[in-house]
Amino acid sequence: MALDRFENTDTEVKPQVSDSNLSDHDLIAIVRQGDESAFAEIMNRYRNPLTNYLFRMLGDYEEAVDLAQESFVRVYFALDRYRTDYAFSTYIYRIATNLAISELRRKRRRKLMSIATFFPGDDEEGRELQPADERIRPDEELVEAELKSVIEKAITALPDKYRAPIVLREIQELSYEDVASVLGLGLGTTKSRISRARALLREKLKNYVT
C-alpha cells in the first residue's frame, strides 16, 4: 500500500469516504481494495473514544495516545485477518484493552524493580493520589477539578480486571454484550465484575457518595 498517501491527512479524507455514511465494515472493505483514505476515516471515528478509554485505563495521556496509535497500527497490519463477524468497535477496543493490560503489567514490574518501592509514600502514584491542596477552596471550579481528580485516581486504583469493564460500560457507554465481547468474558461474569467495580468505587468515593 502506498502509505505516502496518508501523509498530512490529519483530518482531511477523501470526500467520497468521509461524507458518506459507510459502516465500519464498508470502510474496511475499501481499505482492503487499496483505498487507504478509508483508514483515515476509521481513525477519525475511533481515535477520540479510544484515547479516552486508554486514558481512563492508564491514567497517563501520553501513554494513552501512544497505545491508541499502536492499536490502529495493529489493526492496519492485521486487516487481512480481520473477520467481519464482529463489530469493528469491539475489535479495536479489544486490541486496545490488551495493549493497556500489557502496559499496566509492565509498569507494575518496573515498579517492583524500582528502589522507590521501599518508599511507597514517595512514589509518583502516591503523590498523585493525594489531593494537591487539602485546604478548603471556596471556588467551585477548583472543587470540581479536585473531585474529578479523586474519581480518576479511584478508577486508576481499581484492579485491572475490574477497571476495564467499568470504564467500557460507564465511560465508553458500551452495552453489557459489547463489554463481554471486548473482554472475551461471559455476560454473567462481565455483569458481576462491573457490579464489583461499582462497589469498590463506592467504597473509595464514600466521602462523595453520601
Partner 1 sequence: MGDDIEIIGETGDAKVSGLLKKLDRIEAPTDFNAQVMARLAAGRRREGGTLFWWFSRIALPITGMACFALVIWFASVPAPGDLKADVVLPETRSTSAPNIIIDEPSPYEAGNQRVANNYQKPRPKTNRVAATPEARPTSRDFAVTEGAAKTPGSNSNSSGSGFSDPFVFEIRDVLRDLGLETDDAGDRLVVRSVRANSVAERAGIQAGDRIETMDDRRITKNTRFDSKVEFTTLTVFRNGRQIVVALR
Contact residues toward partner 1 (CB under 8 A) are 3-4, 6-11, 40, 43-44, 47-48, 50-52, 55-56, 61, 64-65, 68-70, 72-73, 76-77, 140, 143-144, 147-148, 151-152, 155, 166, 170-171, 195, 198-199, 201-202, 205, 208-210
Closest CA to 57 of 91, 20, 98: 98
CB of 52 to partner 1, least distance (A): 4
CB of 119 to partner 1, least distance (A): 30
Tell me if 190 sits within 8 A of 165, measured CB to CB: yes
Residues whose CB is less than 8 angstroms from the CB of residue 28 and which lie 6 or more positions away in sequence, other chains included: 38, 42, 79, 82, 84, 88
Long-range contacts of 99-103 (CB under 8 A, 24+ apart): 99/54, 99/67, 99/70, 99/71, 99/74, 100/54, 100/57, 100/58, 100/67, 100/164, 101/160, 101/164, 103/58, 103/63, 103/67
Structural Rg of the chain based on CA atoms: 20
Q: Where are the alpha helices (DSSP H) in 59-114?
A: 61-77, 88-113
CB of 49 to partner 1, least distance (A): 9
Counted residue by residue, the chain has a size of 210
Measured from the CB atom, the residue of 74 and 111 that comes closer to partner 1 is 74
- Residue 13: Cβ within 10 Å count: 18
Measured from the CB atom, the residue of 35 and 70 that comes closer to partner 1 is 70
CB of 131 to partner 1, least distance (A): 16
Measured from the CB atom, the residue of 136 and 209 that comes closer to partner 1 is 209
Measured from the CB atom, the residue of 64 and 182 that comes closer to partner 1 is 64
